[in-house]
Amino acid sequence: MSFLQITEIHHTYFTKNMAVTALCDISFSVEEGEFISFLGPSGCGKTTLLSIIAGLVEPTLGHVLVKGNPVIPEERQIGYMLQQDYLFPWKTIEENVLLGLKLAGTCTPEKKKAARQLLYDIGLPGVEKKLPKQLSGGMRQRAALARTLAADPKVLLLDEPFSALDYQTKLKLEDLVSATLKGLGKTAVLVTHDIGEAIAMSDRVYLFSSSPGRIHRVFEIPDELKALTPFDARNHECYGKLFKEIWKELESLEP
């Protein structure tokens, strides 16, 4: 059985006057340590699907399994990293990073030490006692990554985590996140509107159509690109060809 299994997900939002189907017949699997991305037009249900995988939204039909078991949000199997860092401004970086562990009642000395090591590993040594306002946007997102990973989630969900950053910082963070997740053997799902980001970071890209959201096509990233850092992948000859192919397919889905 696959590490992450999504089976026949269907989701409809009901209001007083209408029913809107956001997702229809979504099925795929992800092996442990893989990194996949979701691309598609706005409103195709990508973020809704992330919320379902996280266990925050109950699908109308279908199920999500991690290592063969249903997702239980209270067990913190899923880590969620968003576009905004949502660091508490009155808490130090160390307090922010340890917050999830404290809420779960698992903030042992060993896990505190591991969390501090995470800050060091992602290039934030010596910031433990600083407040978020003392850090740049890129540094805050690194701290948010450390906070998410400190809880040791089985699956990491990334909802456009780099979109608010300047381009140079974005490219640096892509490399950092990719290297960190590979080093830890984490399974990750990225939602993005950036075709290049999806190609450079992923093992596989799922292109969604909308109204309702369905998997339109799956693109396997060539091994030559997967072996490179995201920055170097963007300069490989395979990258441009795949970018154009996905761009053309995405354009065909626009209304």
Same domain membership, residue 65 and residue 170:
yes
Q: Is the peptide bond before 89 cis (omega within 30 degrees of 0)?
A: no
Same domain membership, residue 165 and residue 58:
yes
Show the tokens assigned to 212.
């309702």
Same domain membership, residue 187 and residue 224:
yes
Domain of 36 in residue numbering reads as: 4-77+153-253
Cα separation, 29 vs 62, in Å, equals 13
Same domain membership, residue 233 and residue 181:
yes
Q: What is the pLDDT of residue 34?
A: 96
Q: What is the pLDDT of residue 17?
A: 84
10-residue mean pLDDT series, the chain (255 residues): 92 86 94 96 90 92 92 78 88 91 82 87 88 92 90 91 87 91 94 95 95 94 95 94 95 82
Same domain membership, residue 142 and residue 108:
yes
Of 98, 118, 152, which residue constitutes the final position of a domain? 152
Q: What is the pLDDT of residue 10?
A: 95
Cα separation, 218 vs 199, in Å, equals 12
Q: What is the pLDDT of residue 74?
A: 62
- Residue 159's closest CA among 214, 78, 63, 84? 84
Q: What is the pLDDT of residue 190?
A: 96
What is the tally of structural domains in the chain?
2
Same domain membership, residue 130 and residue 201:
no
